[in-house]
A and B are shown apart, each in its own frame.
Chain A
């Protein structure tokens, strides 16, 4: 079946601009995650959604970063007043969630490469 998709695959923006990154999770997956990966490092957790609500946003670096998932499916990561340090690959993942609250394996999209000039 279809995996996690992310658009755009590449985004170049100027410092100070606003950007939106989109994630389409696997159909039926109730949990959705955003990660950020800088060159040469492992992915860094940003935020987790269970359904429509952000269950854990402790990884968001500051208030310029915001994410929504209004209908419990597609999610958008929004970055205001972008800075050069925001340049990275932004990864989205989705998973099932068990009735006991256990999380299942996360399936990742290909990522969006954001470059802030």
Chain B
């Protein structure tokens, strides 16, 4: 599975959009981009995934560049409860393990 690169930490003001970048320049054509987050002392929580097109659900939006070498997770109105470590993972969907990196620690500040 392709390797991802994320900034180690980011801050965001409460109520503003949080934009979390992920670089996956070696992604293959059949690899999906997944985002999970982990709130302190909890297991990781699935957020969203996509292949080529932008995706949106009740939690977030995922913007994937046309060349698929990078993506951005957008939390449209960040709250204090969104403070967590966010992991970007790329994997072939049939693969059954997930390779987590160190993720981005997002701190939402009042």
Contact = CB atoms under 8 A, between A and B. Distances in A.
Contacts, number: 55
A103 B95 CA distance: 7
Interface stretch (A14-22, A38-46, A61-69, A78-86): A38-46
B49 interface: yes
Interface residues of B, number: 21
A42 B87 contact: yes
B46 A107 contact: yes
A12 interface: no
Contacts of B41: 110
Contact of B94 (A42, A45, A91, A102): A102
Contacts of B99: 45
Interface of B: 34, 41-46, 49, 85, 87, 93-103
Given A35-B100, A59-B97, 13 more contacts: A41-B102, A42-B85, A42-B102, A43-B44, A45-B98, A48-B97, A50-B96, A55-B96, A102-B94, A103-B93, A103-B96, A105-B34, A110-B43
